[in-house]
Amino acid sequence: MADNRLPEEGDRIAKLLARAGIASRREIERMIADGRVAIGGKVLDTPAVKLTSLKGVTVDGKAVGQAEETRLFAFHKPPAMLTTEHDPKGRTTIYAALRNALPKDAGRVMPVGRLDYNTEGLLLLTNDGEMKRAMELPSSGVPRTYRARAFGDITQADLDTLIEGVEIDGIR
């Protein structure tokens, strides 16, 4: 980079920094806009930078290490808990429970998919955004099994009509 040009190969810097556990890609883009990210001492003014490694990258003046190995965790989400990092209404999120459930060296993890507030069950978490996305997409072919319990009287004929979907307020 003797000619002061940044590399044009590799992955976008926000992706690499997110993979290193600094923050989410969107948060890293805000950090870049705030002038908090630099390469070789030069403060970035755009997230449209590709790199092959994080060598020479600093955030708030501190050198950034390389990304950790991909990790996958299984967590049983109890009911009355949101699958999100922050809730403006102050409701409990999975991250409150994860403080005690994950190993201390787990780093930043994100859920693969979501479970509703009152739903309980297996929730996978990973530190790898690409793996998370691949597992969430239906095209990946990852099998999913759901079990639901309903209260009240229902017949097999009632269930058979649901196979075609439902209509609520004129929307199918």
Q: Tell me which of 45, 60, 87, 116 is the catalytic residue.
A: 116
| Residue keyed to tokens 């209509």 | 167
**C-alpha–C-alpha distance, residues 16 and 12, integer Å:** 7
User: Letter for the amino acid at 19?
Assistant: R
**C-alpha–C-alpha distance, residues 77 and 119, integer Å:** 8
**C-alpha–C-alpha distance, residues 58 and 43, integer Å:** 9
Give the CA dihedral 22, 23, 29, 30, nearest 10 degrees: -110
**11 catalytic residue (yes or no):** no
Residues with catalytic roles: 116
